[in-house]
Amino acid sequence: MQTKRFRVSGLYGIADASFAEPVRLVGMVKRAIKGGVALIQYRNKVGDTDLVAAQLARVCKETGTLFIVNDDIELARQVGADGVHLGQQDASIAEARRALGPQAIVGRTCHDSIALARAAAGGGASYVAFGRFFPSGTKPMASAAPLSILRQAREITALPLVAIGGITQDNGALVLDAGADALAVGGALFGSPDIEAAARGFCALFPNQEN
């Protein structure tokens, strides 16, 4: 069952554990939230996750910011996250729904494939994510996706479309014009010397969004 509680849109910050040590990462996320980020995803491929995830969940709850955990359904459940983002090699959407409930946000990576997006939509995903669209420091080996995939996806689903991969303030408008509802940004946000200002800059790309 698709979630009806939340609509994924706006600036979607990817807080990767590799960006900074835990205490600093939490501070970075706070600055991004102050700048207007709508949703934070915690991604950790390098070590222990529980403590930082719990801290970020609290920060997001206190500020009314949606919080997603990458890959780990059980961790998302433990920290009370709003949902989970699943890659194609991760658990099924149905498993996530059983663990987190029908109102949880469950996103699915679809790379550059309409077939995968159709399957995710049919399986009860809350949103589908495409990319990478531009060269990416976080996922340098990911397959490239054309902007046209967003237009094609809009023809087969009304789910929110999340774009990821090398998105900057310079190219973000192109992605939104192609049909993305949310821009998932990691390095261009958290690698900025002024994270709050960077978040405001990204938010300014969205029509009618107040910062």
pLDDT in the model for residue 135: 86
pLDDT band at 7 (very low <50, low <70, confident <90, very high): confident
The model's pLDDT over 191-207, given as tens digits with 9 standing for 90+, comes to 999 999 999 999 999 98
Q: Give CA–CA dist 93/29, Å, rounded.
A: 27
Non-local CB neighbours of 40 within 8 Å, separated by 6+ positions: 12, 13, 15, 29, 32, 33, 56, 60, 65, 66, 67, 68
Contact by Cβ (8 Å): 107, 91: no
pLDDT tens figures, 26-76: 999 999 999 999 999 999 987 776 789 999 999 999 999 999 999 999 999
What architecture does CATH give domain 10-203? Answer: Alpha-Beta Barrel (3.20)
Domain boundaries, the chain: 10-203
- Per the CB < 8 A criterion, the answer to whether 51 and 75 are in contact is no
Each residue's pLDDT tens digit, 96-115 = 999 999 999 999 999 999 99
Calculate the average pLDDT of the chain: 92
- Percent of the chain past pLDDT 70, that is, above it, reads 92
Give residue 1's pLDDT. Answer: 30
